[in-house]
Structure 1
Amino acid sequence: MAEEQAAAQEQQPAFGIEKVYVKDLSLEIPHAPQIFIQREAPQVSIELSNATAQLEEGIYEVVVTVTVTSKIADKTVFLVEVAQAGIFQIRNVPQENIDIILGVTCPNIIFPYARETISDVVTRAGFPPVLLNPVNFEALYAQQKQEQAKANGATTH
């Protein structure tokens, strides 16, 4: 009976965070120190992407990459990029649910770490902190699926 319970537990869906870490971090201040005496307000742009990879059976890496570029006119004030990653265990979950977990749940877990890293690095570089707004990864996932469906529809006609 104990063996049956153990076997049943092995078949239960499982999700776990194995590790959250900074995979890559870059800061550039190409016009330092002159840029620190500029008085104009910079324009800030943010790019976001995420990628997934299966490391082994039931173990996945998800990487959320955030790039923040600050410019005054055509001069880059700073550029900071962080690739925040996580290793997740996902077992006994249907594939369509794994895609949602990797595209929505995992990035939602990782993003606050990336947000904190960006703010910390920018502050340590001598600039006011950049506070990134929360991201709706569910909406991004849905948009990505729609674009894939359109692309597949366009190639099959």
Structure 2
Amino acid sequence: MSEENQTQNGQAPSFGLQRTYVKDLSLEMPNAPEIFLEQEGPTVEVSIQVGGQRLAESVFESSVTATVTTRIGDKVLYLIELTQAGIFEAANIPAEQLDPLLGIVCPTMLYPYLRANVADAITRTSLPPLHLSEMNFQALYEQRLAQQQSGAPEQGEDSGLILPPGARN
């Protein structure tokens, strides 16, 4: 093995997805069944947050949370919040590469599962599924870093993208 592929302790870096799971799922339809009579098309708001934590020396949990609020006029058609999580092994990764790995690569691997689970949950309401658009987690990561460096206050733990009311996905 080349020297650049080994860390200081001589071990080769390793990375792998161990497990994916739905950590949290909430679906509300507060105005059903009356809202089904509305003729107007819905507007959609989507918020994405990325999180994670160290579970052991080389084991990490990464999570992606989507909050989708769909309205017709001022009434909520449905509100869904889903957290897709995964357990990753990341051993012998240089410290400067670990944060981007956990902030970009892990969420990118989890996002297709999240998209499928959101669409499935909405389909079970008898409504057409909502297919979330692709997400650039590298841009999201860089945006969060820029906010941290500029000293801009972050909105709680939200490191995600918020689409304005009326934006379609």
Give TM-score, length-normalised by structure 1.
Answer: 0.89
Task: Give structure 1 regions of 4+ aligned residues with deviation exceeding 3 angstroms.
Answer: none
Q: Report the Cα distance in structure 2 between the residues aligned to 1:129 and 1:16, rounded to whole angstroms.
A: 31
- 1:114 pairs with 2:95: no
Query: How far did 1:88 drift?
Result: 0.2
C-alpha distance in structure 2 between counterparts of 1:40 and 1:135, whole Å: 28
Structure 2 unmatched runs, 5+: 1-9, 153-169
Question: Deviation of residue 67 (structure 1)?
Answer: 0.7
Aligned Cα root-mean-square deviation (Å): 1.4
Aligned to 1:105: 105
Q: Which runs of 5+ in 1 are unaligned?
A: 1-9, 153-157
Structure 2 residue 74 is the aligned partner of structure 1 residue 74 = yes
Task: Tell me the residue number matched to 2:167.
Answer: none
Instruction: Quote how far apart the aligned CAs of 1:128 are.
Output: 1.1
% identity of equivalent residues: 43
Larger radius of gyration: 1
Cα separation, 2, equivalents of 1:88 and 1:97: 15
For 2:7, the equivalent position in structure 1 comes to none
Q: Secondary structure at the match of 1:125?
A: coil
Q: Distance in 2 between matches of 1:126 and 1:44?
A: 17
Match of 2:52 in 1: 52
- Between 22-31 and 10-19, report the one with greater CA deviation: 10-19
Number of paired residues? 144
Residue in 1 that maps onto 2:128: 128
Larger proportion of helix:
1
Cα distance between partner residues in 1 of 2:36 and 2:95: 50
